[in-house]
Structure 1
Amino acid sequence: MYFREKKPIKRSKIRLFLGKEYYTLKKYKEWYFSGKVYTKHISKELRTYVIFTYDTPTLRKLKDVDMELQHNKVTNLKLATDRISGIIIKPGETFSYWKLIGKPTYKKGYLDGVILCPNGTFTSGVGGGLCQLSNLIYWMTLHTPLKVTERYRHSHDVFPDSNRTQPFGTGATCSYNYLDLEIYNGTSSEYQLIVEVKGEKLLGQWRSSEPCKYKYEVYEKEHAITTGLFGGYIRNNIIFRKVLNMYDELVDDEYITENHAYMTYSPFLSS
C-alpha cells in the first residue's frame, strides 16, 4: 500500500461556498444531461429473493455528542427511508441516493442532526445523520453483483471503534447533492432496496427477482496506523472482497478501495 500524504489545506469561507456551489451545479447537470437512466420506480411488492440483509443501531453514545441530535437523526432516517424503500433498479438503470431522497429541509420535517465537517470536526445541521443510511446501503451493495459507480469516504476518522462489526473504511459519506452514492445494475435481474427504521435499528435488504449465483465476503488488508508528516496519526487499510460460488469455492478476490483518514483522537487510548 502506497500513500503520499497531502498537506491539509485551510480554505476561506468564500472559497468553500463557491466550491460547494460549483459541485452542486455540476451534479444537477449530470442528473439531467449525462444520458444515464436513473431509477425512480418504487414497488410495495417484494421481490422474491433476499440477496443480503443488514442492520445497524440508530442510537449510539458518542463523545461530546448531544443525544437529542441522535434522536433527531432517527426522524431524519425515517423521512429518507420513506423516499427510497421499495425502489427497483432495473437492468441498465442507476440508483442515485440524493436524486431520490431530495434536499433535506426543515419544511420537509427534517431536524438538526450530527454533520461531519471537512476538517474532521462535527456540528449540527438539518438532515444530519443520513450518512448512516448511505453507509448501510453501500455496505450491503458490496455483497451483491451491483456496481458502485460513485462513492465518497470520510477524510477523517472521528470516533473510536465501539462495537464495530464492519472493517474500517466501508462506509459512504453523503452531502446533498454532490457527495452522492450511485449504484449501477449491470445484471440481467431487477434489484429492490428495502430500508426501514424499526425500534432502535436501521434495517436494510437487497432483494432480487432472481437468485444470486455468488456470495461475497468483504475484508480488509494492511490495516495500519501511521504518523502523519504534518502531525497526528493516519489510519490506513485496503478493502477486498472474496467472490464465492454456490459451492463456497473461491471464484475471485476483488480489490474494492483504499482508505487513508486523519484520526481526530489518539490511537493510544487508556483502558
Structure 2
Amino acid sequence: MKPKKRSRLRIKAGSYYFKLKRYMKWYFGNVTFANRILDDHLPHSAASHATPLLRKLKNVDMWLQHNKIKNLQIAIPRLHQVVIAPGETFSYWKLIGNPTKRKGYVEGMVLYYGTFKPGIGGGLCQLSNLIYWITLHTPLIVTERHRHSYDVFPDANRTQPFGSGATCSYNYLDLQIYNPTDQPYQLLVYMDEESLHGEWRTTRKPAHYFEVYERDHRISQEYWGGYVRTNSIYRKKFNLDGELLADEFITGNQALMMYQPLLKAKAE
C-alpha cells in the first residue's frame, strides 16, 4: 500500500463531493436517525470504558491536547444521553454538526495523510474511538466505521487492540450505529479531570457479554521500503454462565507505519 500523493486541489474537490453526498443521504435517504435526548438514565449498563485525556505523543505539543479537551466539552453535550430506539441509527456527525470556529471549536490535533497538523475541532476522534469500542461490546450493529490508514505514533501503554478505533472527519467519515434489538439504548459520554468516559445503557439487564480481541497481528516491510501493520479484530459472545456462543470476525485493519518499528527493540 505505497502512499499516493494527491494534489491539494484534488483533496479539496473530493472533500466537497463527499460532503454533498453525505448531506443527500442524511436528508433524502430512508434511514431514521436517532435524535432524542432522555434526561433520565436507562436502568442497566450494557458496556462502558474510559480513555485518558492527555497522552505523551512524540513531537506533539501539549497545547494541542489541551485544546482537544475544549473541543470535547463542546461536542459531548450533543451526544450525551441520546437514545437509539429500535430500528433507529446513530450518526456521530449528524448529532454533533460541523465543528467550526464560530461554534467555539479551537485548533486541536488532526491526522493528515500520515502526519498531523493543527485543525479546528481537532481531537474529536478520541470520542468516536471510544463510542466505537463500547459499541463492539453490545448487540448494536456498526453500519459505518472508517479505519485509520496510517499508524502515526508508536504504541504507548496500549490497552486496546491496534485498529480498534474509528476515525472521523466531518461529515463524510462518519460513525453510524444501528439498533436491531427490541429495546432502546442510551449513550452517556462525559469527562472528569483525567479521562473521557463512555457508556451504553438499556432497559433490561444484558443477557450476554462480549470480548473483543485481535488475531494475525503483523508488521511487514513492503518492496518500496515502508512498513505496513495489519491485524484482524474478532469478538467472542458469552452467556452469563460464561459459555461461548459465538466467535465472529469484526473487521480487518491495514495501516502504513509512519515510524521505524524496530527502533524500540534496538533501544532495549
TM range (shorter): over 0.9
3-state SS, counterpart of residue 203 of structure 1: strand
Q: Which position in structure 2 is the counterpart of 1:170?
A: 164
1:224 to 218, 234, 245: 218
Q: More displaced, 209-218 or 182-191?
A: 209-218
**CA distance, structure 2, for counterparts of residue 98 and residue 125 of structure 1:** 17
2:130 to 121, 136, 158: 136
1:189 to 183, 192, 198: 183
> Does structure 1 residue 234 correspond to structure 2 residue 223?
no
3-state SS, counterpart of residue 14 of structure 1: helix
State the Cα RMSD in Å.
0.8
Give the TM-score, by structure 2 length: 0.97
Letter aligned with residue 183 of structure 1: I
Q: Which position in structure 2 is the counterpart of 1:34?
A: 29
**CA distance, structure 2, for counterparts of residue 217 and residue 252 of structure 1:** 10
Letter aligned with residue 259 of structure 1: N
Q: Which position in structure 1 is the counterpart of 2:93?
A: 98
3-state SS, counterpart of residue 172 of structure 1: coil
Give the TM-score, by structure 1 length: 0.96
**Deviation (angstroms), 1:8:** 2.0
CA shift digits 1:108-161 (9 cap, x unpaired): 1111000001x2010000000000000000000000000000000100111111
**CA distance, structure 1, for counterparts of residue 48 and residue 17 of structure 2:** 37
3-state SS, counterpart of residue 108 of structure 2: strand
The number of aligned residues is 265
**CA distance, structure 2, for counterparts of residue 261 and residue 230 of structure 1:** 15
Q: Which position in structure 1 is the counterpart of 2:47?
A: 52
Question: What does 1:56-71 correspond to in 2, within 5 Å?
Answer: 56-71=51-66
CA shift digits 1:38-74 (9 cap, x unpaired): 0000111000000111000001111111101110000
**Deviation (angstroms), 1:229:** 2.6
**CA distance, structure 2, for counterparts of residue 7 and residue 170 of structure 1:** 23
**CA distance, structure 2, for counterparts of residue 158 and residue 264 of structure 1:** 5
Q: Which position in structure 1 is the counterpart of 2:259?
A: 265
Letter aligned with residue 128 of structure 1: G
**CA distance, structure 2, for counterparts of residue 206 and residue 12 of structure 1:** 41
**CA distance, structure 2, for counterparts of residue 51 and residue 39 of structure 1:** 18
Q: More displaced, 227-236 or 17-26?
A: 227-236
Q: Which position in structure 1 is the counterpart of 2:15?
A: 20
3-state SS, counterpart of residue 237 of structure 1: strand
> Does structure 1 residue 123 correspond to structure 2 residue 111?
no
Q: More displaced, 229-238 or 219-228?
A: 229-238
CA shift digits 1:155-187 (9 cap, x unpaired): 011111111100000000000000000000000
Q: Which position in structure 2 is the counterpart of 1:202?
A: 196
Fraction of identical pairs, as percent: 55
**CA distance, structure 2, for counterparts of residue 229 and residue 177 of structure 1:** 35
**Deviation (angstroms), 1:210:** 1.5
Letter aligned with residue 108 of structure 1: K
CA shift digits 1:237-263 (9 cap, x unpaired): 000000001111000001000111010
Question: What does 1:153-168 correspond to in 2, within 5 Å?
Answer: 153-168=147-162
**CA distance, structure 2, for counterparts of residue 61 and residue 246 of structure 1:** 38
**CA distance, structure 1, for counterparts of residue 196 and residue 206 of structure 2:** 24
Moved over 3 A (4+): none
**CA distance, structure 2, for counterparts of residue 258 and residue 132 of structure 1:** 20
**CA distance, structure 2, for counterparts of residue 201 and residue 107 of structure 1:** 27
Q: Which position in structure 2 is the counterpart of 1:7?
A: 2
The answer for unaligned runs of 5 or more in structure 2 is none
3-state SS, counterpart of residue 35 of structure 1: coil
Letter aligned with residue 161 of structure 1: D
**Deviation (angstroms), 1:7:** 3.3
